Structure 1
Amino acid sequence: MDSASIRIALIDDHALVRDGVRALLEMVERFKVVGETGCGKEALTLVERERPDIVVMDIGLKDINGLELTATLKQLHPSLKVLILSMYDNQEYVSQSLRAGASGYVLKDAPSREIVSAIEVLAVGGRFYSSDIAEKLASSEPQQEAELTPRERQVLLMMAQGLNNKAMARELAISVRTVETHRLSIRRKLDIEKPADLMRQAMEHGWSPELDARPE
């Protein structure tokens, strides 16, 4: 097997969904689907046996909640990346997926390119959320918006989208050092130390770069 390939397992209790996702992923040369199942118990065995890099997980499994299974898999295999692929677009499920240890959340009716992009981002240690999820979260009222500058809200949202410092600097046309300064300021203002908690803040409050595109 090519050392650069990305090993993927599919966990969804609808065979037609698995068939469609597998067909899509197998069109990408680097992707290798190493197994699939619709059962949570079988998923534990599958991951132990095949050791995939990424699991594409449905929430509504018949024998166990997909978020509970995500948490269990992350405890057993900390390096495993989990991408939630779900029909549910409510904010609470997204927040629960973060707490369970998932690194991404994509809707089943999202464009196929989002699933491919999500896997590529997760494979290099990033996070990815469906554009529809980001738009829905952006419609909620930020609880701490007044504490952050428009630029800090941009940086926080980009962190939630999985961008690293260099990518954020390029996107915002600022230096990497300035990005690092903004990140430090965000942590101080929100009294948050862990990067995962910063990601959660961005996803829960949904700050939108389109709303805050004006320069400082």
Structure 2
Amino acid sequence: MPDIIRIVLVDDHPLVLEGISARLSEEENLEIVGQACNGLEALNVVKDTQPDVVLMDVSMPVMDGIEAMERMAQDYPNIRVLILSMHDNQEYIMRLMRLGASGYVLKDVPSRELVRAVRTVYSGSTYISSRASKLLFRDRGVEQTQTKSILTKREITVLTMLAEGLCNKEIAHFLELSVRTVEAHRQNIKSKLGIHTPAGLTKYAIEHRFVKV
């Protein structure tokens, strides 16, 4: 049996909460452990339930999703926050991802994609819905070219595999390299890009289209 994924839903529209709860509850390994209608209430529910994933809107009264997410990142760093929003602005999406969101899904996605997004962020990966991804990566061709000029082809390969969730040993086996060599590539990538966390490398790879989302 797959792990049970414990979820808290946060949205200020009762009908939205009811609809999402009903759909996710159809999945045998997804469990709704709490609901909230604003960010402040969400913090209390998260404290009481300790979920794996928080599926949260941004525009809410009392406390919005941005402030709630920042507090969760500080107090509960292991909880994955998946943003569910109607906003399809590129800068808006980028801001939330930089603040620590594990994923961003637009509210018009099919329910099956929402289920996939929850499972993806729970596994430790980042998920951005297809239309949001197109907006996010628009006009980033120059940045990708610049990255390719900074990193070697081998480093780009290693970065891509790291972003896909492979560990050093798995990458070494796949590329027929020693684990020490893979670690050296990893350190070079971190140094060249000025990024020193796995989450940061993953987001960088997604932003520059080395990883499909």
Written as runs of structure 1 = structure 2, the 5 A alignment for 1:129-148 is 129-139=128-138, 140-141=140-141, 142=143, 144-148=147-151
Alpha-carbon distance change, 104 to 158 in structure 1, aligned in 2, over 3 angstroms:
farther
- Paired position in structure 2 for 1:189: 192
- Paired position in structure 1 for 2:61: 62
- Paired position in structure 1 for 2:102: 103
Most deviating of 138-147 and 173-182? 173-182
Percent identity among equivalent residues?
41
Answer yes or no: is 1:45 the counterpart of 2:44: yes
- Paired position in structure 2 for 1:201: 204
Q: Which digits, 9 at most, give the CA deviation of each residue in 1:136-188, with x for residues without a partner?
A: 2332231534323566556646655x53349x96xxx7558687665444323
- Paired position in structure 2 for 1:213: none
Q: Which digits, 9 at most, give the CA deviation of each residue in 1:108-140, with x for residues without a partner?
A: 112322221121122232222222232223322
- TM superposition shift of 1:191: 3.0
The TM-score normalised by the length of structure 1 is: 0.77
Q: Which digits, 9 at most, give the CA deviation of each residue in 1:19-72, with x for residues without a partner?
A: 221122011001111121212221122111222111101111122221111011
Written as runs of structure 1 = structure 2, the 5 A alignment for 1:29-178 is 29-139=28-138, 140-141=140-141, 142=143, 144-149=147-152, 152-153=155-156, 156=159, 162-165=164-167, 174=175
- Residue 127 of structure 1 aligns to which amino acid in structure 2? T
- Residue 201 of structure 1 aligns to which amino acid in structure 2? Y
Partner Cα separation in structure 1 for residue 100 and residue 211 of structure 2: 25
The TM-score normalised by the length of structure 2 is: 0.78
Unaligned runs of 5+ in 2: none
Q: Which digits, 9 at most, give the CA deviation of each residue in 1:68-97, with x for residues without a partner?
A: 110112222222111111112233233322
| Conserved 8 A contact 1:8-1:56 | yes
- Paired position in structure 2 for 1:23: 22
Alpha-carbon distance change, 157 to 115 in structure 1, aligned in 2, over 3 angstroms:
farther
- Residue 28 of structure 1 aligns to which amino acid in structure 2? E
CA-atom RMSD in angstroms: 3.2
Partner Cα separation in structure 1 for residue 125 and residue 67 of structure 2: 22
| Conserved 8 A contact 1:68-1:100 | no
Unaligned runs of 5+ in 1: 211-216
- Residue 47 of structure 2 aligns to which amino acid in structure 1? E
- Residue 87 of structure 1 aligns to which amino acid in structure 2? M
Partner Cα separation in structure 2 for residue 111 and residue 158 of structure 1: 28
Most deviating of 58-67 and 138-147? 138-147
Q: For 2:35, what is the secondary structure of its paired residue?
A: strand
| Conserved 8 A contact 1:95-1:203 | no
Partner Cα separation in structure 1 for residue 131 and residue 149 of structure 2: 25
Partner Cα separation in structure 2 for residue 136 and residue 67 of structure 1: 20
- TM superposition shift of 1:11: 0.4
Partner Cα separation in structure 2 for residue 174 and residue 21 of structure 1: 42
- Residue 30 of structure 1 aligns to which amino acid in structure 2? N
